[in-house]
Amino acid sequence: MIILKNPDQLAKMRSAGHLLHDVLQQVREMICPGITTMDVNRYTDELIRKAGAIPTELGYYDYPASICASIDDEVVHGIPSENVTLMEGSILSVDVTLALDGWQADSAFTAPVGKISEAKQRLIRVTEECFWKGAAAAINGNRIGDIGFAVQSHAEKNGYNAVRDLTGHGIGRKLHESPEGPNYGKPGRGPRLVPGMTICIEPMINSSTADVKVLPDKWTVVEANGNLSAHFEHTICITNGEPIIMTLEKH
């Protein structure tokens, strides 16, 4: 069942989204060689709690941390650790969710650690572009498959592969609601998009294969060939016109 949100509920989701944007901006600024992914986790957790919100990844299906921190070939769900130090030249994806006043927001970005290669810069750029291609297709009357098609086409046009085993999702009072939002698909297929739908579009883009593997820690998802992967995500709302990107700055 897809739960549509009324204007009051959307306003609350937007507040959660703005807060998550502010948190992620500050987290982005702290990323540098020499700190650990647990440092990033601690800082993010503090920012969220100081703002009166709850980090909702912590304890979600027993997930042990407040952020996902995925480096290089790690696609998503990397578990922060005191033993993982950020190294110059790596790329780091940070994926965070929070609840404010009972409403969830979910957003992720991939950023360079220090100076990175052009290949890595290109993967980050194209993955973010995949998000915006998907968002451009997220309009009243289109279908979920239109979003996936837009994401997949842009990834493949650039020689990359959209991950199929993990998807975007509806969001609201719960972190994961219907519908699923695959990063691949055919135009005109799947649930119809209508105003009041709130969904997360989250391209996970691999450099050498669409396939992924899960590490023995049962969480960390890696590119099956051990090559680079990047991830971007925003929580958005379908309207009568352009979608509202809820996890951007307030304006």
Positions touching ligand MF3 (CB under 6 A) are: 57, 60-61, 63, 68, 77, 95, 97, 106, 200, 202, 233
Site string for Co ion, 102-121 (x = CB under 5 A): ----x-x-------------
Interaction between residue 72 and Co ion (CB under 5 A): no
CB of 65 to Co ion, least distance (A): 13
Q: Which one of 18-26, 128-136, 195-203, 242-250 is the stretch in contact with Co ion (CB under 5 A)?
A: 195-203
Interaction between residue 163 and Co ion (CB under 5 A): no
CB of 241 to ligand MF3, least distance (A): 26
Q: Is 57 left (phi over 0), alpha (psi -120 to 50) or beta?
A: alpha
CB of 170 to ligand MF3, least distance (A): 11
Number of residues near Co ion (by CB under 5 A):
6
Nearer to ligand MF3, 69 or 137 (CB): 69
Whether the bond into 64 is cis, omega within 30 of 0: no
Interaction between residue 76 and Co ion (CB under 5 A): no
- C-beta separation of 113 from 92 below 8 A: yes
Binding-site partner at residue 63 among Co ion, ligand MF3, none, CB < 5 to 8 Å by type: ligand MF3
CB of 219 to ligand MF3, least distance (A): 6
Nearer to ligand MF3, 142 or 183 (CB): 183
Q: Three-class SS string for the chain? A: CCCCCCHHHHHHHHHHHHHHHHHHHHHHHHCCCCCEHHHHHHHHHHHHHHCCCEECCCCHHHCCCCCEEEECCEEECCCCCCCCECCCCCEEEEEEEEEECCEEEEEEEEEECCCCCHHHHHHHHHHHHHHHHHHHCCCCCCEHHHHHHHHHHHHHHCCCEECCCCCEEECCCCCCEEEEECCCCCCCCCCECCCCCEEEECCEEECCCCCEEECCCCCCEEECCCCCEEECEEEEECCCCCCEECCCCCC
Nearer to Co ion, 26 or 225 (CB): 26
Nearer to ligand MF3, 43 or 63 (CB): 63
Binding-site partner at residue 61 among Co ion, ligand MF3, none, CB < 5 to 8 Å by type: ligand MF3
CB of 67 to ligand MF3, least distance (A): 8
CA distance 53 to 236: 19
Interaction between residue 95 and Co ion (CB under 5 A): yes
Which positions touch Co ion (CB under 5 A)? 95, 106, 108, 200, 202, 233
